[in-house]
Amino acid sequence: MAKARAQLNDSTAGVERARARDDLRAAGRVPSRLGPPTFAVRQRLMLVEDDFMLRAHMSELLASEGYLVSCAADGAEALARLEREPAPAAIVLDIVMPRMNGVSFREAQLQSPSLREIPTIAVTALHGAADVQSLGFEDVLAKPVQFDRLVEALARLCPSS
């Protein structure tokens, strides 16, 4: 009886391993049965948005596009995260936020040698604001954001490897 139970456990574990391997292969993470597992390099993004629901939805959609998304609720939190997290490939930045708005964040970003080279996309309900246009954003998207346009802008700034 114990031997039969051990065989059943072994075959169940084997089936579970095969299913996990098949799931990884379907996701493009295991190219062949013989090769070692490979993982696609996913670009890091920072999303700075004060609206909790919008931040959650955008983060989820960006993650579904294959990005690793770090979120911040305002510019001050974003700067603190950027000090302790790996640098993102790009930043998606809301302009109108409490505490530290997007303009103040961008000015601080441009003053920092380690942050100034990170491409940044502004997302704003303000149309034609001179202070936004003069800060050298790679793109300025109007709210409500057309997600396809955001994904296209990100693909230009940080193409997958």
CA distance linking residue 112 with residue 79, whole number of Å:
10
CA distance linking residue 68 with residue 84, whole number of Å:
16
pLDDT tens, position by position, 65-82? 999 999 999 999 999 999
Q: Which of 31, 42, 55 is nearest to 159 (CA)?
A: 42
pLDDT exceeds cutoff 90 at 134: no
- Of 93-107, 120-134, 135-149, least confident by mean pLDDT is 120-134
The topology (CATH level 3) of 44-157 is Rossmann fold (3.40.50)
What pLDDT does 108 receive? 96
CA distance linking residue 125 with residue 118, whole number of Å:
23
CA distance linking residue 114 with residue 109, whole number of Å:
8
Q: Are 119 and 158 in contact (CB under 8 A)?
A: yes
Residue 82 three-state SS = helix
Q: Which of 141, 159, 151 is nearest to 62 (CA)?
A: 151
**What is this structure's pTM?**
0.72
Residue 120 three-state SS = strand
- Of 22-31, 105-114, 134-143, 148-157, least confident by mean pLDDT is 22-31
Per-residue pLDDT, averaged over 109-135, amounts to 85
Domain boundaries, given as residue ranges, for the chain:
1-39, 44-157
